[in-house]
Amino acid sequence: MEQITIRKTLLIMLTALLLFTACNTNGNQYYNTNDDVALNFIYSVSERRYLLTVADEVLIYRDLSDPASSAKPLCGKPNCTHDNENCAAYSLKEVRYPFFYNDKLYYFHEAAFYSSNKDGTNQRRIFSIDEGFYLENVKLFNEIMVFNIYSEELDGFNHGRNYRVCAYDFLNSKFNLVLETGVKYNSGISHIGIINGCLYSFYTGRDYPLEVNVNEDIWELRLDKNSIFYKDYYYEYRKIPLIQNNPLDYEYEVVNITASELIILDDYIFAYSEDEYPAELYRINVITNESDLIFTGGIIYLQIYDGKIQLRTGEYNEETKRVEFKNPKRYYLSGDKFIEIENAGYFNFYYESEEYLFGVFGGLDDYVKGYIKKTDYYNGFTEFVEMEGELW
């Protein structure tokens, strides 16, 4: 299916398509809460409070409700040295993607997903995944955890991957294989959000390997959009029912948008394209079949924090034909209007708790990390506090 550049009339057609083919599994609404994997950890879905990761062969956590607190080993034993298997923090040193959810600790270890008490005791295996598969792109959309596993075939330039997209429903304690792609080349899958039982994801790849001269500069081929690398190469957003009759022959629809970024909040898709300057940001309601242009300018990226669409802009360079990180500005969406947040252009989000935003403030090479109360953020970015420690 041929992709199209975002234009309002075409987006209206898109929303009509989404409306009439909406997936109504369970009738539930799920949305992107930005509880995504960052490096090798997730912060708490249920409380937006705890940050966990493995450091120095010990599972440690930080309580984000007290931003001045330091990281601590996940251990309830007094006077523990945290250097033997009798210590939960030490015994969990090889886990991946640990997080708290509804007073339980969850994590991946080797080829399985586990739960335990929050102190690491009473471990229970929930489901297993096939050995020999790599784990990636673990994301949490409210009660649904989505992740990829894949096997890989390396043949010089061509990386063949067989992806399996899996989901676990915490509410119903149910695991299911959503789909299996079969071997695709130089491929990737990233997940954006869930609406009405349908997963929205971004797919790239090719159905066959390329014959490429090893003396050619592969990165140059990637940079040249007209090169052989892009022959029959697809970039597309797909809407995929979470429940499939046959995961090997899975059903999906192409969300026919050429967008630099697409994110989901509640019943809305927000999408913009950098193909032309100024970029146009559209909001699409997949339930009511309404689409509107809500921002025009030099967009750097979109985020969802504090339950709001957060927008960052920069200046357009006529020579390079790119939007650059210069004199950046920040906005948040309130109703139908973006409100500028004074003095916040150089702030980059990392996480949030109920009361605080955490991140870095400054340029690419000169910045400090810290936190700010959400009220101070919206009131002109006052009282930014530099934070000690290395746990992010």
Q: What is the pTM of this model?
A: 0.81
Predicted confidence at residue 376, as pLDDT, reads 95
pLDDT at 3 over 50: no
For 301-335, how does the pLDDT look when each residue is reduced to its tens digit (9 = 90+)? 888 899 899 999 999 988 888 888 889 999 999 99
Integer Cα distance of 150 and 161 in angstroms: 6
Q: Which helix (H) or strand (E) holds 331?
A: strand 322-334
Handedness of CA 304, 45, 192, 96 (dihedral sign): positive
Of 141-145, 270-274, 338-342, 385-389, the range with the lowest mean pLDDT is 385-389
Say which CATH architecture domain 8-386 belongs to.
7 Propeller (2.130)
Neighbouring-strand partners of residue 371: 358, 385
For 155-195, how does the pLDDT look when each residue is reduced to its tens digit (9 = 90+)? 777 889 999 999 999 999 999 999 999 999 989 999 998 98
Integer Cα distance of 44 and 215 in angstroms: 47
Integer Cα distance of 192 and 265 in angstroms: 10
Integer Cα distance of 331 and 311 in angstroms: 5
CA atoms within 13 A on the CB side of 244: 23
Q: Which helix (H) or strand (E) holds 169?
A: strand 158-169
Mean pLDDT, rounded, for 349-368: 84
Higher pLDDT among residues 41 and 181, named by residue: 181
Higher pLDDT among residues 85 and 42, named by residue: 85
What are the angstrom distances between the C-alpha of 17 and each of 14, 193, 231, 255, 285? 5, 18, 28, 9, 11
